[in-house]
Amino acid sequence: MVIAIHGRNFRAEVRHYIERMLHILVHQYHAKLFFSKDFARLIQKHELQAYDGQLYYTNHSDLPEVDFFFSVGGDGTMLESVTHVGARQIPIVGINTGRLGFLATIAPHELEDAVHNLYNGYYHFDDRSLIHLDSNCQLFGELNFALNEFTVTKRDTASMIIVHAYVDGEYLNSYWADGLIISTPTGSTGYSLSCGGPIVFPRSKNFIITPVSPHNLSVRPLIISDQSVISLQVEGRSRYFLASLDSRSEIIDSSVQIAISKERFCARLVQMKEHSFMETLRNKLNWGLDVRN
């Protein structure tokens, strides 16, 4: 089996679990490993054992063909991993060495069992839809897709912006707000949730349109079909605005025209059989926990 591993950071207390995972992959299952340049720096930082003939890749352009892609970190690392994999839909194994972890669901103490499950087929694929961005200035280059959301916001502390939104060419609304979020069901538990958006199950085939601090209190989050195309035009007193795809951002001005649709490929996440989205909701949001229980 050939496995790529990417990670940005992990705490010193999980060092033992990562080292144990690498040892099992190399010495028990004889896996061929490719480390991203960021994960290679982590190996050096935490003084983990290096393996003879270790292979490396730089970014999405030189990632080789692999069977699985291990994402070591939090949800931010998972979002980066999706850009590394791109349209190849390599199954991504999310290892949570961060904090909340809606996407990266495998805890460090579960790593050894997770590796055994992979080699024995005790897992399933959870395909997640992506957002595709088109614009008249080729925003974000060839990485014009996102797992969580596209967001346009005011750049600084200037007055609110106006986002004119259209769905399938028909005028929807002009949002007077600090910004506007277009999220996938996966992204419904991210920035959209913190702005009052609903939680949507991953396979619901929707987009969620959520305003950020809207001026009109009657303006509420809206759920539409992901078969629709959402067009945006931004204006405001400030000359520049901030456009974001997940954790990546670029500065735009009012001349930029934006169209958002469903990406033709998906992100293929690996889920262990003992994990589920509902379990993740209960655990991460502390549902049912009450001093009276």
Q: Which residues form the catalytic set? A: 75
Alpha-carbon distance 170 to 288, whole Å?
Answer: 42
What's the number of CA atoms in the CB half-sphere (13 Å) around residue 289?
7
Helix runs in the chain, H state only: 15-23, 37-45, 75-85, 111-120, 191-194, 277-284
Q: Smallest Cα–Cα separation from 192: which of 246, 233, 257, 254?
A: 246
Question: Which residues are within 8 A (CB) of 45 and not within 5 positions of it... i.e. 6 or more apart?
Answer: none
Q: Are 60 and 86 in contact (CB under 8 A)?
A: yes
Looking only at the bridges linking them, the beta strands covering 257-262 and 248-253 are unpaired
Reduced to 3 states (helix: H, G, I; strand: E, B; else coil), residue 59 is coil
Question: Which residues are within 8 A (CB) of 179 and not within 5 positions of it... i.e. 6 or more apart?
Answer: 151, 152, 153, 154, 161, 163, 211, 212, 213, 242
Alpha-carbon distance 133 to 231, whole Å?
Answer: 10
Q: Are 15 and 44 in contact (CB under 8 A)?
A: no
Residue type, 75: D
